[in-house]
Amino acid sequence: MSGDINNLLPELALRAKRLATEEGMTSTALECMQLFRSNQPTEITHALYEPSVCIIAQGQKQARLGEELYSYNPSTYLVAAVDLPVRGQVIEATPEQPYLCIRLGLKPHKISEMLLENRQLLRPVKMPHRGLFVSQANYQLLDAVLRLMRLLDTPDDLAVLAPLVEREILYRLLLDEQAVILQQTAQTDSHAQQITRVIKTLKHNYHKNWRIEELAQMACMSNSALHAHFKSITNMTPLQYLKQLRLQEARRLLFSENLDAATASHRVGYESPSQFNREYQRLFGLPPVRDLVRLRNTAPALIQAN
């Protein structure tokens, strides 16, 4: 089956707009699917992109991983293979034609199952690839996403048919040469999976003061190998990654739990409030108190996912 993706995009946008009636993130009856809407361009946002594929039905967005820029629009899609702290910005949206994004979560065990059942999808594994990539959308992939969205109109069919379409979407993704990173993170004892193990540990234990030696031992690597493989996937060192996690979580605590800066900084693992203030301002552009005022005036524009 082949065709022009432009024949699918109007219905994708219509269905996304109908479901996502408010700005921000909207859940659906499908656990794997969320929708994001913005009626106008946004400022730069900071978010932890979890493993997922993001398909834009309308509008345009940019994402930065470190200093690398990724632009995506309805003719492309973005994949995050691991948890990554990313800066994003919607750059094309209006109230009449809002930015509309369909986010589908990816699970490593589903990828492993697909690869075991379809060995032809396997590719040679060398150095881990970047954990974030943008690729060209194709008719087969968008058609499957559209069929998955149509199932939301027939809830009785979801339990039986949705898993089949989700598998097709995953298969379509794995056909892409850039998706080798998905294979790498799903393969037992690959370097990418070892780095993924470190990433998950940092994500759930960001408040601890980790030493490189501890993380390298966890990954069964030397310090230098950990540094090289971690940076290959995340475009940052383990300690830079940890700092981003801490600062993003501190920002969330300031906004959602109304904590003061000193308490938030201590909660995420900082011992020095002055160091926290410096690093917070360096990442977000304002010191914590002033940034909190900005967040409250612009939410949900600055608090969003991919």
124-176 tens-digit pLDDT:
766 778 999 999 999 999 999 999 999 999 999 999 999 999 999 999 999 99
Which class is domain 5-185?
Answer: mainly beta
Name all contacts of 28-31 with Cβ < 8 Å and 24+ positions apart: 28/152, 29/152, 29/155, 29/158, 30/148, 30/151, 30/152, 30/158, 30/162, 31/105
User: How far does CA 143 lie from the centroid of its chain?
Assistant: 22
Instruction: Please report the pLDDT score of residue 119 as a whole number.
Output: 85
Count CB-CB contacts under 10 A for residue 213: 11
Residue-level pLDDT at 285: 93
CB 51 within 8 A of CB 306: no
**Domain 240-298: which topology?**
Arc Repressor Mutant, subunit A (1.10.10)
Residue 2: its pLDDT value, please?
A: 62
Mean pLDDT by runs of 10 across the 306 residues of the chain is: 86 98 96 96 93 98 96 97 96 97 95 90 79 96 98 96 97 92 87 94 96 95 96 96 96 90 95 95 94 77 50
Per-residue pLDDT at 300 = 52
The whole model's pTM is what? 0.92
